[in-house]
Structure 1
Amino acid sequence: MTSLPAERQARKGLGAFYSPRSLVEPMVSWAVTTPSTSVLDPSCGDGVFVELAAERLCELGASPGSAAELIHAIDLNPQAARMTAETLSRILGVPLEARAQSFFSLEPPGTLFSTQVPVDTVIGNPPYIRYQEFTGLSRREALARATGAGVNLTRLASSWAHFVAHAVTFIKPKGRLALILPAELVHAAYSAPLRRFLRESFADVAVISFRRAVFPGAQESVVILLASGKGEPHQRLGLVAVESSQDLQSLAEVLARAEVFQNGSEPTKWVPGHTGNRSALFLARLQKDGLFCPLGQVGKVSIGFVSGANDFFVLTPKGAGALGLPKRSLRPALVRARQIPSFLLTRKDIAAMQKENQRCLLWLPGQSLTRAEKAYARNGEAEGIHERYKCRVRTPWYVVPGVVVPEAFLTYMSDTVPRLCLNAAAAATANTLLAVRLPHVPVGLRKAFVVAFYNSATMLSCERTGRSYGGGVLKLEPREADQVLVPSVALVRQHRGELLALGPRLHEALLHGRATQIAEALVAVDKVLLGSRMADAQDLSEERAALAARRKLRASSESLVQEMLAFYG
């Protein structure tokens, strides 16, 4: 048998990320264990998984004809399906068909209209479509398939999660699953139902994470999921981290050094290499004891206003003055995370922004426009602002809806640590920041509450609840932010004086943004809030630091690759 590099190169041109053999070969060897193992790749793409599966089956003693009958390949892209079928046919020397259809349109085995037989193993690299673009019929089909499998995913779930849930329904009892998946599997809140489903569906689940980027240029980090014993009682979860895909050549050794969690003791997130299990239990204990609670119990997080054209609606003081816009129509507003100085935004801070002529004034006219405002609106129409998406769906187009003055702001994308900032400036915010209402935190406790936010338990909760994105940033969606654990109002009230006394130190640390200073400030808050529990707090601090470091390491790895690509052209 021979591989066909030229055809594989052509398949790469279809637009999918190419899965390197160093990554796929050990996965296929693990998944295909006998010459009679039946295989399904539900999104075959460039065909590397099924090509290696064919080689593996023949190595184990299967005839080319038998191997062809055992391999099932599907892809939504007709060209990918055709190329995969042609390549496998030439490798095996017998005709082989790869179906061109949506995997979500395929009925699970055993259902009324199904034509698919169950298989011993499912392998592959499912497509990744973010929830924002995952819409229409394909999304409705995917939701139906996931629900049919018993997995209730939220609207934040990307396509791959539904794909995995559907794929499990095609596996025979005692069968296996070997997939390359986004790292969101191990840490994203929306993946929690899927993690639970996988635990309940397989006896053994193993996840391999990578410290270095596997797909240079891809924004998402990836993991390998290996699950075996379909339908048998769950026994253990194994988590392990390796440097790169090259380390998988000794897959058995990698799995042998995995951190193992027995049934019932798994961490809420499947991130290897740290004290996640102890930390998960400690966070749960803090919540059970009433010391911490989800942010959504004391407040509500939402996105800021969506203007549709911040460069038009949020002006500099000089720009607003030159246009003659009345002061009564101008509201202080933030449009960038860097406009949050530390944990407190005051009117002096807004005045400083205005003095520096920053964009910090939202034009929010009343029902009757002045002559200057009418002229500005006409200018906007001349520039086509009124035809932009968010503008054209509202009447009048020039009045930005949903403008509120929240009690606090929370960074949507964070570097060192997420920042909660008390809004003492009566400012609004664009959707570049999250707006936090705090109706259940008394006015006199709000400043202390915001200081208390900067503790190791809350910072770790942010890391575990949010998502790691390209560039080493941590992203928190509103629903995820509502789940972040924060000190309870009772705990803040108990330590109000001590927390306020830490304000200046915290301000300096956040203002200068030095990681060491911020870490020291977190420890100081920990000592106030956790007291005798500082040994456990140390575990939280170490895990938070490890997760943050992993984000940054991936970012630096991606940056280095981009620099090399730019250098070599």
Structure 2
Amino acid sequence: MNKRTFFDIDGTADMDVVIGNPPYVRYQPHRGADRQRSRLAAKAAGVELNELASIWAAFAVHATSFLAPGGRMALVLPAELMFVNYAGVVRAMLLERFATVHLAVFEERLFADAQEEVVLLLAEGYQQGPSGHFQPHQFRNAQDLAQLGSGTRHEPRRAADRWTGSLVGLEAQGILAAASAQGHFATLKSWGETSLGAVTGNNKWFTFSSDEIHELGLPEADLIRISPPGSRHLRGLELDQPGWEQSAGPWSGDLSVQALGRTERRGRTSCGQRRAVQRGPGLQVQGALAVVAGAGAFGAGPVHDLYER
């Protein structure tokens, strides 16, 4: 028995099959020497992971270094393999190095007690790629795996592109392609795009709860409503001009002298409904100007991803 950290073991390039269920530890707790070790192992296997990569990504990459040419790999991975940005290099590696790649996704949770949505990755023909495509299989639960079959074929435009488009059926893809060709659909970019102008990293300083607004006596003219994290507060599928104005609120110019004095008592709030103190074309935050000129709304909370148009 070889008892060592997986990333401390050099790949042997002589295994016919690698099977694994790597840990799904995210990058926040996966830090320090452990993160450095995992990233170096992935780099040695030819893939450069960024600082946001969870540990499973390094595990999947390093696992390939144990395979002999023509070898196979089967891993239980989080469903984020299909769509997160940092996994783009992992998706590209799979399509470039393996002759065939199968991906099994499930309607029901594979592990009832686990919080993570998972997929099964089955890759064959190591160093016999590129395949340039993968074959997705959609199942209700694990019992349906006996009917694996050949699946459908999905070929991303670029090797690192997201794989979520593969979940759309061929009939639906054909309908969309025909409707797009006739001009019935347009890309979101033709309507507009979102832009993250600046991040302060300290929402608690410049946002206030309703109770704090009342306690500080801040005038309504010095406040602008923010959009809290998530989308539960949004209603319906359409956002018209009145709804936008009600959500974002109008600008009213510089802060009043009254508000400037009282906001020296910096807010310390927990999550909930908050509003940001506005200041002309930006927010004065502990001496650092967060430029938001022309902004339509403010948001509070972590930004996990900016979706492609």
Partner-residue secondary structure (3-state), 1:131: coil
Equivalent pair of 1:210/1:242 in contact (CA under 8 Å): yes
Other-structure match for 1:402? 290
Other-structure match for 2:17? 121
Cα offset, 1:138, TM superposition:
2.2
Cα offset, 1:319, TM superposition:
4.7
Using the alignment, how far apart are the partners of 1:350 and 1:203 within structure 2?
A: 51
Other-structure match for 1:300? 195
Using the alignment, how far apart are the partners of 1:348 and 1:313 within structure 2?
A: 19
Cα offset, 1:130, TM superposition:
1.8
Cα offset, 1:175, TM superposition:
1.2
Other-structure match for 2:4? 100
Cα distance, 1:119–1:402 mapped onto 2, change above 3 Å: same
Unaligned runs of 5+ in 2: 250-254, 270-283
Equivalent pair of 1:403/1:428 in contact (CA under 8 Å): no
Using the alignment, how far apart are the partners of 1:244 and 1:273 within structure 2?
A: 18
1:309 has 2:198 as partner = no
Could you state the TM-score of these two structures normalised by the residue count of structure 2?
0.69
Identity %: 28
Other-structure match for 1:431? 301
Cα offset, 1:123, TM superposition:
0.8
Number of aligned positions between the proteins: 277
Using the alignment, how far apart are the partners of 1:127 and 1:369 within structure 2?
A: 49
Using the alignment, how far apart are the partners of 1:174 and 1:429 within structure 2?
A: 50
Partner-residue secondary structure (3-state), 2:290: coil
Structure with the larger helix share:
1
Partner-residue secondary structure (3-state), 1:431: coil
Partner-residue secondary structure (3-state), 1:99: coil
Matches within 5 A, 1:54-73: none
Matches within 5 A, 1:459-498: 477-478=305-306, 481=307, 483-484=308-309
Other-structure match for 2:170? 275
- 1:105 counterpart letter in structure 2: D
- 1:335 counterpart letter in structure 2: P
Other-structure match for 1:509? none
Other-structure match for 2:100? 204
Other-structure match for 2:151? 258
Cα offset, 1:121, TM superposition:
1.4
Using the alignment, how far apart are the partners of 1:335 and 1:124 within structure 2?
A: 39
Partner-residue secondary structure (3-state), 2:144: helix
Other-structure match for 1:323? 216
Equivalent pair of 2:102/2:121 in contact (CA under 8 Å): yes
Equivalent pair of 1:259/1:272 in contact (CA under 8 Å): no
Equivalent residue for 1:240, pick from 127, 137, 142: 137
Cα distance, 1:403–1:218 mapped onto 2, change above 3 Å: farther
Using the alignment, how far apart are the partners of 1:304 and 1:265 within structure 2?
A: 30
Cα offset, 1:327, TM superposition:
5.8
- 1:241 counterpart letter in structure 2: Q
Partner-residue secondary structure (3-state), 1:232: coil
Partner-residue secondary structure (3-state), 1:180: strand
Using the alignment, how far apart are the partners of 2:76 and 2:107 within structure 1?
A: 15
Other-structure match for 1:179? 75
RMSD of aligned alpha carbons = 4.4
Could you state the TM-score of these two structures normalised by the residue count of structure 1?
0.41
Cα distance, 1:138–1:406 mapped onto 2, change above 3 Å: farther
- Between 1 and 2, higher relative CO (CA 8 Å, sep ≥ 6) is seen in 2
Cα distance, 1:173–1:243 mapped onto 2, change above 3 Å: same
Q: Larger Cα Rg: Structure 1 or Structure 2?
A: 1
1:224 has 2:120 as partner = yes
Equivalent residue for 1:333, pick from 226, 229, 247: 226
1:160 has 2:56 as partner = yes
